[in-house]
Structure 1
């Protein structure tokens, strides 16, 4: 292939004299893949930069010159172990859910095998109730079951077989190893019994086990896809089209991928800023609530640095781009979210820890049984049957159910309390936390400014101006007054306030400087000048959630430390934390600063629970050991969180911690029972006291026992009494209304 200038599709020119190429790398799935690919490609001669987007599986490569060789790039990726092709959005969407389609197909095949194999095995089971079939008929039924079940089990079980083989190649054994060996050995024993005309074969059991396990795998895949959607939701805030100004100053709609550093963009009122940049002209205010969590609008004037995703509120701005789409603040947060989600995905679950001990012990015992029985002269068939009995009676079904059964019961209990659990592993992580990090706005507080102690007559007159503004504090005044009229000849000065005519007088509502008061203005106040010489200060507060103090006290009583990380200013953060009883807090934090703080806490050995609701919390939510978001949170925060709670109270966080700890205790009880069961059942199988049929019944009984123990959580929930509400005390500091005369 010839050298690359401007490549299409998938290529673009990011800056004069440089070429760029976008490749689809569907095999990249984790943070390790991202690091390996970016380092490997960036080390190639002629490559200036390489950035991989895990959510879209898109690798963006910038070359040092006006041309590059895509063949060399694709060959390098192939040597790293990844196939690549020119990026095409339609092809990327198709590759994204390939795993889900494969699991769904395997699940359908396994279900078909279960239903049809049982058509032939159910008549054999009837022999247990005096309806014994003739030996020839029984053998025929087993052969028919084998014809149906064997190919279904082998095809549907490839998910487990490949995983088991991959694990063994790395010198480790996961839960798929005993599952795979158990399924294959069950089929071998079943064929052996059928060829000999034996009474018991287990073709239906093999495919049924795979069918049940695939249900869990498919649900786990859907949950992971939902988690990856958090980063996609965040990047969706970058509009695909920006209005780039040409040399004549005329706006031209341009795809965001073609915008380069130095381009000038026009941002109209009500639009999101497409990319990071610096304001060249225009005066307005920006709503950074979704980016920084700051509730007060930020002024924007020439020279002000702005972030992509912020909403321009008042007037037209011209912004000079300072970072490409791949290097923007939103892209950086999305990359941290992807890395955090992948770090959680490799969390070692309780069942996998148990499997590390269980797998080598049980399979060594089965192998020793086979060799020992054969060496004693009892024959290969007896040796195989005893080894099969050992594997069947110690089948990891009970071990595999020990945690999922508890997690299902715990998730149901939390659902009744208004908490949605998105991942079973999240409950395990939540049970381990020792430090709680809260966002302020929307989590510790209600997330909306409210007018404090203002006389109704003042509110009614100020609302005549407030209804003409989109400023959040002005909206709070209008909401307090209700529907009504608007003053005559209203004019809003961006970042200052609103002026209009009330009863023939010129009135103003806005900042202290705007109404002529010589006092330092605060971000949580407005001043109203009715035109008669009296200027009234209107103070706003973001009230604490009603149960915030009670929830903080309950978390501390459980041995947890609590901290607030907020993008708001120091004064409102300090007031809210003092009212809630929180000593440790930080203010004016950027999204990256929040995530860096969480990483530092975890590097020091803390297990952090992050509770947040905004885009500025999304990266920290993904990086934390466990995370929660309220139901009113933005989509990206909810997708990044492990649990989502409804309602207006923080006691749901306390309830989630309690249930997670109880679930861990139940899981450990189930592991203890499984260990005791295996200590009794395995020797019985070794000495031939139970055959494979009895072993299968015993194994099913152990699975039932751990399931019943898990259901005790639901019984405990119904019998528990609801605690009486605790008085949370004053919701927030309520400064008095002030009067000032010039």
Structure 2
């Protein structure tokens, strides 16, 4: 029986990009510190954190990934995470040393649930105040109008104090260190709308804007929640790689098998890898013969014969027989983790388009405040009406928010890297995505990798039913690619 590879249209080979891993991802001389930044949410935060980290003695570079809410710092060996965390605390930003093993979907979703509750409170309050406002707009008498305005104030003040808390907290943190971020104009707009409305209500004025303040809060929270969900769905390619790491391994101790967490495995330990299991560490085969699927690292679609003396890497799949492997590199020293760090650096990389967006966003916040101040001054001098001038200044702050500018590039980079990784492509730097638009010729120098990787039978009709039945019975119990093709 003959199996033939079905050739698919040419696709980039992950092996060309990722291999040889041991040469490409050699450990850097400088220390790399990963920090979790749960409080960042806009381009102003990125600029503040990167400037603050880069100003610390011994820090060579600092890159913040907004989508993943983390910073990757390259620094001298004597620099510690505690030093950087203290420096960020002085800038008003909470930071923690990143422990990938401590991250979970539940922790990541806590912020999303909190935003959703605030969104519901703002929406409920906005609908009720809008009902009262309709009566005022319809021509309610002075006494009724004043009553409805005070009821609206009673609903709006506690609702905004709770729902708009993320904007107020972030704005205050920025102002404490004499900086501006995207939340400063937002918080100022909400407070101006409330202050103007309370002033109008206290003076029995005809117009109050409690409904506008609540509606603004509702839509801003809706946008922030959608952004949170987008970043949660756009899972990073580095996370995809880290997810391939085996959490536990079978360690051989005096002839007995003991299941231990991967963190307890040390170089020199003997590990048993069963058929169908992933290699938990980088190592060398001591005993056993099998076939290994190493397409993740090299792009080779067909399995490689494994025997004693062959080196293996974490993440490779043992297909047919049990293997005893001596651990050589574990944890962050493994090929899989070094690849994940390489991809994380790529996702945090700066390209010329990213830099353009950064520069525009840095100028935006002060520009908005200047424009709002000029609007207030111009209308006050021209109309001589303080209330009109305040309303227009608040409107300028309300309608201007550049968050999309700062979020677009990192979100697209992370989503594209994750999507390409799931298709078998490893992007080493964010600029590669931009360079693709300029590519007109692609040259491949490896054989056997530009295929779909799905063997198919070509002479099925030449075999008897009895032969096929025997072959199927044998193939169904095997994970070998050719056996899978027979069973299919």
With the length of structure 1 as denominator, give the TM-score of the two structures.
0.45
Cα gap change, 1:356/1:319 in structure 2, threshold over 3 Å: closer, same or farther?
Answer: closer
Cα gap change, 1:355/1:273 in structure 2, threshold over 3 Å: closer, same or farther?
Answer: closer
CA contact (8 A) 1:351 1:399 kept: no
Cα gap change, 1:154/1:443 in structure 2, threshold over 3 Å: closer, same or farther?
Answer: farther
Q: Distance in 1 between matches of 2:167 and 2:350?
A: 21
Secondary structure at 2:291 match in 1: strand
Q: Distance in 2 between matches of 1:74 and 1:399?
A: 31
Residue number in structure 2 paired with 1:313 = 319
State the Cα distance separating 1:432 from its structure 2 match.
9.3
State the Cα distance separating 1:138 from its structure 2 match.
0.8
Q: 2:149 aligns with which of 142, 166, 182?
A: 142
Cα gap change, 1:450/1:75 in structure 2, threshold over 3 Å: closer, same or farther?
Answer: closer
Work out whether 1:113 is the aligned partner of 2:125.
yes
Secondary structure at 2:276 match in 1: coil
Q: Distance in 2 between matches of 1:83 and 1:462?
A: 64
Alignment of 1:234-313 (within 5 A): 234-246=241-253, 248-313=254-319
Cα gap change, 1:88/1:286 in structure 2, threshold over 3 Å: closer, same or farther?
Answer: closer
CA contact (8 A) 2:38 2:95 kept: no
Q: Distance in 2 between matches of 1:166 and 1:346?
A: 30
Residue number in structure 2 paired with 1:104 = 116
With the length of structure 2 as denominator, give the TM-score of the two structures.
0.65
Secondary structure at 1:320 match in 2: strand
Corresponding pairs, count: 401
Q: Distance in 2 between matches of 1:88 and 1:341?
A: 17
State the Cα distance separating 1:358 from its structure 2 match.
6.1
CA contact (8 A) 2:293 2:318 kept: yes
Q: Over aligned residues, Cα RMSD in angstroms?
A: 5.1
Q: 1:434 aligns with which of 437, 440, 450?
A: 437
Secondary structure at 1:261 match in 2: coil
State the Cα distance separating 1:203 from its structure 2 match.
0.6
Name the larger-Rg structure: 1
Work out whether 1:331 is the aligned partner of 2:318.
no
CA contact (8 A) 1:228 1:338 kept: no
Residue number in structure 2 paired with 1:386 = 389
* Runs of 5+ consecutive residues of structure 1 not aligned to the other structure: 1-22, 44-53, 65-71, 127-131, 405-428, 480-742
State the Cα distance separating 1:257 from its structure 2 match.
0.9
Residue number in structure 2 paired with 1:563 = none
Residue number in structure 1 paired with 2:462 = 457
Deviations 1:318-345 (A, max 9, x none): 1111111222222222233334444589
Cα gap change, 1:197/1:58 in structure 2, threshold over 3 Å: closer, same or farther?
Answer: closer
Q: Distance in 1 between matches of 2:85 and 2:404?
A: 40
Secondary structure at 1:197 match in 2: coil
Q: Distance in 2 between matches of 1:122 and 1:237?
A: 57
Cα gap change, 1:85/1:328 in structure 2, threshold over 3 Å: closer, same or farther?
Answer: closer
Where relative contact order (Cα < 8 A, 6+ residues apart) is larger, the structure is: 2
* Runs of 5+ consecutive residues of structure 2 not aligned to the other structure: 1-32, 41-45, 60-66, 408-431
Q: Distance in 2 between matches of 1:441 and 1:216?
A: 48
Cα gap change, 1:149/1:138 in structure 2, threshold over 3 Å: closer, same or farther?
Answer: same
Alignment of 1:634-653 (within 5 A): none
State the Cα distance separating 1:281 from its structure 2 match.
1.6
Residue number in structure 2 paired with 1:7 = none
CA contact (8 A) 1:262 1:321 kept: yes
Cα gap change, 1:222/1:345 in structure 2, threshold over 3 Å: closer, same or farther?
Answer: farther
Deviations 1:523-574 (A, max 9, x none): xxxxxxxxxxxxxxxxxxxxxxxxxxxxxxxxxxxxxxxxxxxxxxxxxxxx
Further displaced range: 162-171 or 108-117: 162-171
Work out whether 1:476 is the aligned partner of 2:485.
yes
Q: Distance in 2 between matches of 1:327 and 1:447?
A: 30
